[in-house]
Structures are given as C-alpha cells and as structure tokens.
Structure 1
Amino acid sequence: MALPNMIPGTPGTALLEWAVRAEERGFSSLAATDRLVYPGYDPVSALAAAAGRTSRIGLLSNVLIAPLRAPVELAKQAAGLDQLSGGRFTLGLAPGVRADDFDAADRDFTDRVARFDRDIAALRELWAAGTVGPRPVRGHVPVLVGGVTAAAAERAARWADGWTAPGLTPDRTSELADRVRKAWSRAGRPGRPRIVMLLRFALGADVAEAADAFVRDYFAVLGPAAEDFVRDTPRDAASIRAALRAFADCGVDEVVFHPTVGDPAQVDRLADVTL
C-alpha cells in the first residue's frame, strides 16, 4: 500500500492515519513516490513520519528520482530512515523521466542515466564507510531499481536487490521480469531478485470522479495518453483481484497499490478486497 503523498490537498494527518491503518490491516509494505514539480509531500519525509507511527510494516520508496540528489545526500537520507524505522526501509530508485523536475533542481536531464549508474555504485561504499550518516541496520539499505530498458535489468542485477516496475500490463511485466532474472543469473547472483509491481487503484463510486481527475492531472504531460491511465485504473473488487492473480502468475513478489484519492477509507476498502 502506498501513501497518498502525491495527491494534492491531502492533509498530513491523513498520511499518518493511512500509515497506521495500513499496518493494522496487515499490508506488507508502505510506499511513497517522488516528484519535485508537483504539489505533494517529499517521500523521505512522508516515510519518516510513517516510521514513527508504525512498528512492523515495511517502508519503500517507489521510487525516488536518484539523480535529483547528490549520492552523499541520498546515502545519508536512506541510512537515517533505515535506522529510524529499525531496518524496515527499502530504497527504490530510478533515473527519472520528467525534464521539469530536473529543470527545477537545476540539474542536467540529458546525463541523468550516467549519473544514476555512478550514484548507485557509490551507495554501498558510503554506507560501509559510515562517514555521512548512521550505518544502516543490515550494513546496507536494500535497493530496488526501476526502469523498463535492458540497461535497467543489467543495473538491477549488478547493483541492486531487485527490480521495481511502473504500472505495466501483466504480459509486459512478465517479459521484463524475466529479463531481470536472466541478467541476475548472468551476473552470478545467488537466490533471485525481488520483483515489485506498481498498481494504481480507486474503490467506491463516491471517489470515482476525484480519482479520475487526479490521474488525468498527474499524467497530463502525456497529452491524450493520460486517458489511458484513467481507463486502466482498477476500480472494483473483481478487477483488482484479477490483476493480483495475473501479477502472481508473472512471478511478482509484491504488488504495491498506489491510491488515486487521499481518503484513508481507501485502506480499509482495499484490505476488504485483498486481505
């Protein structure tokens, strides 16, 4: 279950209530996503606040845009959140796809992927050195890498503990997850990569209009294609359960439901459908 940290107008108290309800209802993880040029909460701040109100549920950035931050800053933030949560944090990272975020941060958009590779390589060294923040509980913070390219699969296999997918169809998810597993095997990594999938949702006729408006606005940069995201957002029990079965068949380890409205009642509605 993701926090509604990107949904404009969501009160901070609602985020905290959301976190408490998600843990009480038995969700495995609590996630937060990242945009700079959008009226939402910073994901690290949101997850740190959630850490203070919970004790069991995992915490996941899904995802942070790594090249917007210096690697030293990123390493310190992640290690601090990991310690504050008692080792519950997983750091999901991606290079980013929206130029306006980079313009606002005064960072070069064109070389972000090269910087992303360098920064991921530096994280474990910084955590091991222990010079920029507290040492993570497990010695390092588990890392998931996002992206849909062949390079992203190789990056996940070389530097990370798994792969996190954006909202994709089950067929596309299966194809890319298989690519990650093959890259993992070629790299000689033991075990198997953790595979995480993002799925937006809305439950209830009373929130349908607000949910559609948020999705339409969030993906407005895509033009008419934003309507595809509106149409494909599951909004009833049958479609959500069907999606879960389809992603389980793809070998996905965890589906992270990202809300499209900020009402904490969505936590209970989704729990009633899925748990």
Structure 2
Amino acid sequence: MKIGIAFPNTIPGAPGRLQSDWAVRAEQRGFSTVAATQRLRYPGHEPLSVLAAAAAVTSRIGLATNILVAPLTTAAVLAKEAATVSSLSGGRLLLGLGPGVRSDDFDAAEREFGPRGAVFDSQLAELARLREQHDPKCLPAPVPPLLVGGLSAAAVRRSVRWAAGWTAPGLAPERVAPTAAKVRAAWSAAGREGRPRLIALSRFWLGEDVAQEASGFVREYFGVLGDEADAFVATTPRTPEQVSEQVKALADAGFDEVIFHPTAARLSQVDRLADILIA
C-alpha cells in the first residue's frame, strides 16, 4: 500500500509558502504522492497552480489532483494546464477528475450544473484522445494519465472506458470497497490489460494541539450537510491506531494507495503521519 498526503490547499488561511514547504517535507519523508483538491467558491489555493509550485521544489514525489472538477472549465483549457504541469514535473502528474457535486462552484464559474455529467463524458473522451494521440504542436508532453472519482455507476463506467483507474471519495472503507470491487470487475469484463489503479482518500489530524482547528475545519467544510457534518468530524482518524486501521481496511479492500487529506494547516502533520506509516 502506497501512502500519499494532500496539501492543505483548501484550508482557509493556509499561506502559499506552506504549500511549497509541504511538498518538500512530504518528499523528504517518503510519501508516494502529494495531492491537491479543488473548491472554487471557498477559500484556498487553486490545485494546478499549487502542483506547479510543488514541481519546482521537488524531484521524485508523485503529483496528483484528487480531485479536480473538470466541468468547471473546458477540455482544451484543462488539457493545456495539466500537460504544462506534467511537463514541468517531468511526467509526475496524475490527473484525478470528477463531475462535481456543489452547485455554488458552478455558479461562480458561470457553468451549467445540470448537464455536468454529459459534459464530463465528452471531456474525458477528449482528454483520453489527446493522451493517446499526442500532438506536440498542441500540447507539451507528457499528457498525464487520468483517474475518475465518484461512487455512481457512471463513475465505474468512466473509469474503465477512459481512465487508468478510480479514486474514491473520503468515506469509510466499507462504503467505498463495493465500488472498488465493481471497478475491478468491469475492468476485467471490458478486457482492459492489467489492473485498474485504485486510490482512496482519508481525512486525518494528529495531535491535541490541532484538534480544535481541525474539527472546526471539517465541520465548516461539510456544513452544507447540516447535522451530518458532525459525523465527518467523528469519523476522521486522529490517533496512530485509527490511522493504521484505516490503511489496513483500505488495503484489504484492494486499494493501491491512500492519500491522507489534512484538516489542520500545520507542517507538523506531515511528520506525524510519516512517523506512523512510513518506515
């Protein structure tokens, strides 16, 4: 099981310099990947920009969007931006994409929320084509591989048809394991070679000194869910035992990698997670 860590790029008030320092420390401590996620109508840093900055200060660690909401832009713009980051990093970018679930982000981007599924399908088809039939006159190389996020039947179909695999949302292992099994089965049924890449997401915080900050962020970020936001706080791993149990459960479900998303914008979180999970 590979262990990755996400930037605190959506945590309000996290400074820009922290994002670069985070990437350097994550590489030093041996994480497999450092990932950025996206919200538009919410404080924080834009993910591909953060990853471009990370590419400049690292040389080995994988870079990923986990995830980026593709229908907020066009396939052509997204392809150019992603291929640029991939080129800057020497081909270390993995492009995790989803159709989006928050209508306020679409309002801010002046994009239609209703037809986002159909838009996403056409975008994935175009991005896959650009990767398979790369034209250096249009895009720098290499064009990054794709992962698709979501729990729907459409997410399974998209992962198998256009992507290198599937990335799970940040839910309990027992809630994402069935979809992982469906992706593997559909992959085999479609005659795809090898195995799909399966990545899981888990929030975390470590240390009583960040507990108030972290729980407050989780409660605010998922505030749109009302009382359910408290459940996300309660189920966020926060002890070495809970973090280790999360990794074991996801490994047992067949995931290749788990990316831990911080809920406190403190560089200490990188070291504390590494101390538990990375030899």
Q: Same fold (TM over 0.5)?
A: yes
| 1:88-237 to 2 correspondences below 5 Å | 88-127=92-131, 128-136=134-142, 140-237=143-240
| Separation in structure 2 between the aligned mates of residue 160 and residue 83 of structure 1, nearest angstrom | 19
In structure 1, the residue matched to 2:82 is: 78
Paired residue type of 1:187: A
1:125 Cα deviation from its structure 2 partner = 2.8
Structure 2-normalised TM-score?
A: 0.96
SS at 1:255 equivalent: strand
Q: Which deviates more from structure 2 when the two are superposed, residues 190-199 or residues 116-125?
A: 116-125
Aligned match of 1:3: 7
2: CA distance between counterparts of 1:134 and 1:261?
A: 35
Distance 2:199 2:136 in 1: 29
- Partners of 1:220 and 1:172 in 2: CA distance: 21
Instruction: State the aligned residue count.
Output: 272
Instruction: Give 1:17's aligned residue.
Output: 21
Unaligned runs of 5+ in 2: none
RMSD value, Cα: 0.9
Alpha-carbon contact 1:164-1:197 (below 8 Å) kept:
yes
Secondary structure of 1:91 counterpart: strand
Residue 272 (structure 2) aligns with: 269
What amino acid maps onto 2:257 in structure 1?
E
| Structure 1 runs (4+) greater than 2 angstroms displaced | 124-127, 129-133
1:215-268 superposed Cα distances (whole Å, 9 cap, x missing partner):
011011111111111111111100000111111101110000000011111100
Percent identity, aligned pairs only, is 56
Equivalent pair of 1:126/1:132 in contact (CA under 8 Å) = no
CA distance in structure 2 between the partners assigned to 1:122 and 1:213 by the alignment: 40
Report the equivalent of 1:256: 259
Is 2:55 aligned against 1:56? no
Q: Contact between 2:219 and 2:233, CA under 8 Å: does it hold in 1? A: yes
Q: Distance in 2 between matches of 1:30 and 1:49?
A: 12
